[in-house]
Amino acid sequence: MKKKIVIGGFCFFIGATVAFFAVQFFTKTGIFKVPGALIFDETVSEADIAMFREAIGDIELEQDVTFSESFSDSYNGGMLVDVFVPVADFYEAREEISTQEFEARFKNGEGFLSVLKLDETKKLLKVGGNYYLDSFNNGAKFKLVEIHGENDDDTTRVRERVTSVLPSFPKKEEVLTFTQTGVTAMSRGMNAKMAQVGDGKYFSANLAEFLRQFDFTHTSNESSFSNWASASNICSDWRFLDTLTDIGLDIVELTGNHNVDCGAEDAISTYEKYQELNIKTVGGGRNAVEAELPLRFGAKGTNVTMLAYNQSTGGATLGDTPGANQYYPENAQARIREAKERGDFVIVDVQFNECNAYDDVNENTYCDRADSAPGDQVGLFRSLVDMGADVVVGTSAHQTQTFEQYNGGEIYYGLGNVFFDQIWWPGTTRSLGLTHYFWNGKLLQTRRFGTVYDSSYQTRLMNMEEIEWFINRLNQAR
């Protein structure tokens, strides 16, 4: 009897042991436990798999963790792996593509670039009215990764490690925007119109909302404010100050040759009014010392040095008199070198000789050329890039001139009129505007836009059809 009890107990022990290990074997627990694995479905690229594996390292997982990737046309949160934007050649006339073309391009793998590789050599395109660098959640394809696991602790640890290696992408609060506009000279015929309407905001009504959205907005104002302003002189009615404040003007360039037309006293009082309104000045002043000073400004991790010169159109300061900053190559070279040593982005504006071959009957394109005025404009502007300038802009041309990339820099030979009374020639009613987008000190894009006015003197933005025609015309002049 005792023997039977021992044998029975032994059999029970053996059976229990076998059952115990059998349960572990079939349930993959205990000594038969299989650690969790990283599972990547077919949507995850090989490059991303390698990045994720390296980030996760040798984490021991209780359960499997699965990865999948997807693309979205908008971004409203999630783990962002990359942002792909539609691009074209720098000289491309088109500014926008439809959502249908956007999808077709992406499907075919054509004309897209990671925003982290975006620079001024490629042109960022709008998509159905959405410009990525204005919206940051539209106008692109957003690549997202999703991570799922049965064990919450596993999933949390994996997500934390993956998040630590995901790149940073531009955000609105990190991107500095700076818009440059062309010739402003609110005088003569505009003074006569002011006498009728009595409100400076009348002239900016169709442009103000657009220009106010940028961090810094610039214009080159050639006309000082004066009580003697009339329909026959290049002096501005004081009420035109409301035009400038309405567009959110932050920087006024004073390289023009007409700022002393109504005398030194008006030029000085105009300069002092800008100071009172906290509008920064560059390229002119109450004397040569003030006129020569570079303008340094910035925010959001980017610093810009702006230099502005009057090369040959007259109106320069005579030392202790108000006027424009005269161009001297040795000064430009020294100032550019100082700015680059500080790590600043450098923009140089130049008031050059004016082309006067306008035509009030036909669309005369002669003045579109960079070499249409007396002197070596191309040689001068390119030499400034060779000195180290990143962008060179002509601010004297009343008819917009062509543009180019040169030696790693951008040159815009003449922006044209944004606010002026020259309505007799079609070419002088238009202007090219520039919006520079900076991120962490780097220029991501210079976006071009067009403006136009008529006998109402109310400047407006060009529509898409007009700007495409305009850019094509300027390309042909290069």
Q: How far apart are CA 229 and CA 200, in angstroms?
A: 14
- Taking 50 as the pLDDT cut, the residues of the chain under it are 18-33
- Give the three-class secondary structure for 371: coil
**pLDDT for the residue 6:** 53
- 269 with 285: CB under 8 angstroms? no
Q: Torsion-angle region of residue 3: left (phi > 0), alpha (psi -120 to 50) or beta?
A: alpha
User: In residues, how long is the chain?
Assistant: 478
Residue type, 425: W
In the chain, the largest separation of any two C-alpha atoms, in whole Å, equals: 133
Question: Under CATH, to which class is 173-477 assigned?
Answer: alpha beta
Question: Which helix or strand (DSSP H or E) is residue 116 part of?
Answer: none
Q: Is 476 helix (H, G, I), strand (E, B) or coil?
A: helix
Per-residue model confidence (pLDDT) at position 15: 54
pTM score? 0.92
Tokens of 395: 């601010």
pLDDT, residue 357, reads 84
Cα 458 to Cα 466: distance, rounded to the nearest angstrom: 17
Give the number of other CB atoms < 10 A from CB of residue 438. Answer: 24
In Å, how far are 143, 171, 220, 264, 353 from 167, measured between CA atoms? 12, 12, 39, 55, 47
Q: Are strands 112-114 and 79-89 parallel, antiparallel or unpaired?
A: antiparallel
Query: What's the rounded Cα separation, in Å, for the pair 116 and 169?
Result: 7
At residue 476, the pLDDT reads 96
Return the domain boundaries, the chain.
38-167, 173-477
| pLDDT reported for residue 23 | 44
What stretch of H or E contains 94?
none
Phi, psi (rounded to 5 degrees) for 48:
-70, -35
How many CB atoms are closer than 10 A to CB 37? 11
DSSP type of residue 102: H
